[in-house]
Amino acid sequence: MSVVIGEISYTNILPFFYHLDKQKLIEHNCRFVPQVPAQLNNEMSKGRIDIGGISSFAYAENATRYTLLPNLSVTSYGAVNSIFLFSKVPLHELNGKKVALTWSSASSVHLLKIVLEHFHSLQISYTTMNPNVKSMLHDHDACLLIGDDAIVARREYTTSLYHYDLGELWYEQTGLPMTFAVFAVRNETLRDHPSLVGLIYRSFLQSKLESESKNYQPMIADILKTHGGDKVFWDHYFQKLCNDFGQKEQEGLSYYFDLLYQMNYLSQPIKKLHIWDEVKSE
Ligand SMILES: C=C(O[C@@H]1C=C(C(=O)O)C=C[C@H]1O)C(=O)O
């Protein structure tokens, strides 16, 4: 049986994959599945993906079944630059209005609900849609996009629409970082393949460290070819994202989960983040 590794198909996850020795992991019977976060969340909850990056919200929904991998995340302290609410009217005028949500997200969708409903006391009607600004705004007042869809839309709509960076809105209210993606493993996979999980974990960590030590440069050179944009943007984007998962990041994530539980978006409170104690398990 192979171990299936989920790979978020957005550039923000690349520091963990760009310098990964995929061939070596394939030789160890691993398989890679690139998908957008909502698909990965769903596949992991059904047991069809074993390990990898998922929405932090999806971890909360499955906290008793998953274990978090230490030191790995996609987190922002303030502006994240790839998660935007695009709106025809200023945010505080959205009360009673309709907002379209990208179907690809789980963390940002719930972060938006915190921002609109909890921070600004707005009542909103939501629809989940394909991530396309034109069709989303055809019949809605605002729309949420994430990942590369949001990066591209921001290039196009900076002047014609209001746009709000969700990482920034969260930071302004809480002073805390926001973790959008965590790395998790299904508890059964960890039980059945502890040493392979160790190898995969160390490979992710090594790729992240190499990305950081090379200042993301080889990776950005490739992203420019595949995704366009300018180097200044991508340099700034990766410099600003935090890929650690230390105490402060965990504090921000726990607060996000607490609010979601209070708002009934989570059925169980998350009292503790279960993070793999790698050294003991090996
Ligand atoms: C930073 C981002 O974080 C992503 C957002 C996610 C979500 O909203 O569920 C999940 C994984 C992250 O890769 C982004 O997509 O721009």
CATH code for the domain of 256: 3.40.190.10
Structurally, the chain folds into a number of domains equal to 2
Cβ(80) – ligand 1 distance below 6 Å: yes
User: Is the same domain home to 40 and 98?
Assistant: no
User: Is the same domain home to 183 and 237?
Assistant: yes
User: Is the same domain home to 88 and 201?
Assistant: no
Give the closest residue (by CA) to ligand 1 atom 4. Answer: 180
User: Is the same domain home to 118 and 95?
Assistant: yes
Return d(Cα 106, Cα 232) in angstroms, integer. Answer: 29
pLDDT at 279 over 80: no
- Domain span at residue 117 reads 83-174
Cβ(106) – ligand 1 distance below 6 Å: yes
pLDDT attached to residue 282: 46
pLDDT at 273 over 90: yes
User: Is the same domain home to 182 and 69?
Assistant: yes
ipTM: 0.97
Q: Which of 174, 205, 236 is the last residue of a domain?
A: 174
User: Is the same domain home to 185 and 69?
Assistant: yes
Share of the chain above pLDDT 70, in %: 99
pLDDT attached to residue 52: 98
Q: Which of 116, 145, 174 is the last residue of a domain?
A: 174
User: Is the same domain home to 53 and 167?
Assistant: no
Q: Which of 174, 191, 216 is the last residue of a domain?
A: 174
Q: How far is the CA of 22 from the centre of ligand 1 (A)?
A: 23
